[in-house]
């Protein structure tokens, strides 16, 4: 039995004070943390319940034209918020492609960023796993690796990051606002999650005693041309084998700027800025997106059970780019067959 100390916070300051120290956890929706606890994968000494912090439950417009998503707003409330639907439909679609309605009603925006990999070995305490038990090995390299990475992995860990929402947040270049014992800071989304390298136990750059307070969306939302295409083993309640978030703006029929982010292929939402630059000035054609796909997937490498993802990702990038031309024909959760 894991004895722990439970505290309820009603303000950010209270939460940060109560959460100071190692092996302390903030809990909001708990949709992943409680699983980790029940599987005996985490052993908190102190649990700080942040669900009473009302100031983190709002979505507000920013003076620069962007939007601030409170960390405690649920995923469903965010996806269906009129401003998100109108100005950031790409974000709305990615959220609705994940989990189930019940889970999205509990899961929060801040928690979505912190969910852990769904690698089978990570959730099995009887297996070695460098992420759970550093130095113990990575059985996925020689074992079951269908869900695993084809980009950015290391010999220590080939896990993927499971979030859908974060794929859009990467494409939109969101900013994560956090507060800890040393004050508040902002983290560019590209710097929030980290590659496994030699420290696969670290998923992100957030301090253990730092609390995510909000996610800021920049003004550019790609509402006119966007798409999220998620390929998975079943059409509901499954993590992505490959997913692609695409957004671009057209001027005189040519791509003026573009963003492409991939999920299900790496330890982080995967973006290659050279591929986005490559698209500038080009017509939105299959050939253009195929060229971008070549740049995104340069260096991709498969393992015994996931090598198919390389070609799947290439096709998904092209299809998502073409589907973004007319977002009105897309239905969340019902991607066409490739
Ligand atoms: Fe653990 Fe990462 Fe290897 Fe999975 S891929 S077993 S999470 S070290």
**122 CB under 6 A from ligand 1?**
yes
- Best residue among 200, 202, 268 to mutate for probing ligand 1's pocket (most ligand atoms within 8 Å of CB) is 200
pLDDT band (50, 70, 90) for residue 24: confident
Judge contact between 170 and 190, C-beta under 8 A.
yes
Q: How far is CA 6 from CA 2, 15, 37, 173, in A?
A: 12, 12, 14, 35
- Best residue among 130, 148, 266 to mutate for probing ligand 1's pocket (most ligand atoms within 8 Å of CB) is 130
Measured in Å, residue 130 CA sits from the centre of ligand 1 at: 6
- Does the structure show a pLDDT above 90 at 330? no
Average pLDDT, the chain: 95
- Does the structure show a pLDDT above 80 at 87? yes
**162 CB under 6 A from ligand 1?**
no
Q: What pLDDT score was predicted for residue 245?
A: 98
Q: What pLDDT score was predicted for residue 337?
A: 41
Q: What pLDDT score was predicted for residue 338?
A: 40
What's the structural domain count of the chain?
1
pLDDT band (50, 70, 90) for residue 222: very high
Domain containing 251: what range? Answer: 226-327
Q: Which atom of ligand 1 is nearest to the CA of 139?
A: 6
Q: Rounded to two decimals, what is the model's pTM? A: 0.96
Which tens digit of pLDDT belongs to each residue from 145-203?
999 999 999 999 999 999 999 999 999 999 999 999 999 999 999 999 999 999 999 99
Measured in Å, residue 258 CA sits from the centre of ligand 1 at: 33
Q: Which atom of ligand 1 is nearest to the CA of 138?
A: 3
Q: Which atom of ligand 1 is nearest to the CA of 121?
A: 6
CB burial string 132-141: b at 16+ within 10 A, e below: beeeeebbbe
Query: What share of the chain has pLDDT > 90, as a percent?
Result: 91
**145 CB under 6 A from ligand 1?**
no
Measured in Å, residue 264 CA sits from the centre of ligand 1 at: 14
Q: What pLDDT score was predicted for residue 49?
A: 97
**131 CB under 6 A from ligand 1?**
yes
Assess if residue 293 is contained within a domain: yes
Which tens digit of pLDDT belongs to each residue from 59-82?
999 999 999 999 999 999 999 999
Assess if residue 318 is contained within a domain: yes
Q: Whose CA is nearest to atom 1 of ligand 1?
A: 129
Assess if residue 285 is contained within a domain: yes
Segment 82-107 mean pLDDT: 97
Residue 246: CB atoms within 10 Å: 31
Assess if residue 251 is contained within a domain: yes
Q: What pLDDT score was predicted for residue 184?
A: 98
Measured in Å, residue 69 CA sits from the centre of ligand 1 at: 31
Q: Which atom of ligand 1 is nearest to the CA of 117?
A: 7
Measured in Å, residue 228 CA sits from the centre of ligand 1 at: 27
Assess if residue 240 is contained within a domain: yes
- Does the structure show a pLDDT above 80 at 55? yes
Which tens digit of pLDDT belongs to each residue from 252-311?
999 999 999 999 999 999 999 999 999 999 999 999 999 999 999 999 999 999 999 999
Distance CA 320, CA 284 (A): 11
**121 CB under 6 A from ligand 1?**
yes
Measured in Å, residue 301 CA sits from the centre of ligand 1 at: 17
CATH number of the domain residue 316 falls in: 3.30.390.50
Q: Whose CA is nearest to atom 3 of ligand 1?
A: 138
Segment 244-255 mean pLDDT: 98
Measured in Å, residue 238 CA sits from the centre of ligand 1 at: 19
Q: Which atom of ligand 1 is nearest to the CA of 145?
A: 5
**266 CB under 6 A from ligand 1?**
no
pLDDT band (50, 70, 90) for residue 331: low
pLDDT band (50, 70, 90) for residue 22: confident
Assess if residue 260 is contained within a domain: yes
**158 CB under 6 A from ligand 1?**
yes
Assess if residue 320 is contained within a domain: yes
Assess if residue 83 is contained within a domain: no
Q: What pLDDT score was predicted for residue 179?
A: 97
- Does the structure show a pLDDT above 60 at 213? yes
């Amino acid at each position: 039995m894991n004895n722990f100390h439970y505290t309820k916070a009603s303000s950010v300051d209270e939460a940060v004070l109560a959460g100071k120290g190692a092996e302390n956890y903030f809990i909001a929706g708990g949709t992943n943390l409680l699983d980790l606890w029940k599987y005996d994968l985490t052993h908190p000494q102190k649990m700080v319940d942040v669900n009473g912090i009302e100031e983190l439950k709002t979505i507000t417009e920013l003076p620069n034209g962007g939007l601030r998503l409170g960390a405690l707003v649920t995923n469903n409330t965010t996806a269906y918020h009129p401003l998100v639907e109108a100005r950031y439909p790409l974000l709305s679609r990615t959220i609705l492609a994940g989990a189930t309605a019940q889970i999205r009603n509990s899961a929060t925006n801040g928690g979505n960023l912190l969910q852990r990999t769904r690698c089978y070995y990570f959730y099995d305490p009887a297996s070695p796993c460098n992420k759970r038990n550093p130095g113990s090995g990575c059985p996925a390299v020689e074992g079951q690796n269908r869900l695993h990475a084809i980009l950015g992995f290391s010999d220590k860990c080939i896990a993927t990051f499971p979030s859908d929402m974060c794929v859009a947040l990467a494409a939109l270049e969101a900013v994560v606002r956090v507060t800890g014992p040393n004050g508040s800071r902002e983290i560019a989304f590209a710097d929030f999650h980290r590659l496994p390298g030699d420290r696969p136990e670290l998923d992100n750059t957030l301090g253990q005693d730092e609390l995510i307070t909000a996610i800021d969306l920049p003004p550019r939302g790609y509402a006119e041309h966007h798409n999220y295409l998620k390929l998975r083993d079943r059409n509901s309640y499954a993590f992505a084998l490959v997913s692609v978030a695409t957004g671009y703006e057209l001027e005189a029929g040519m791509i003026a700027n573009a963003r492409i982010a991939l999920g299900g292929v790496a330890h982080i939402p995967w973006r290659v800025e050279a591929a986005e630059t490559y698209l500038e000035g080009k017509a939105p054609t299959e050939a253009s997106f195929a060229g971008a796909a070549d740049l995104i997937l340069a260096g991709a490498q498969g393992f015994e059970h996931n090598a198919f993802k390389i070609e799947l990702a290439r096709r998904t990038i092209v299809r998502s780019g073409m589907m973004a031309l007319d977002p009105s024909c897309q239905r969340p959760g019902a991607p066409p067959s490739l």
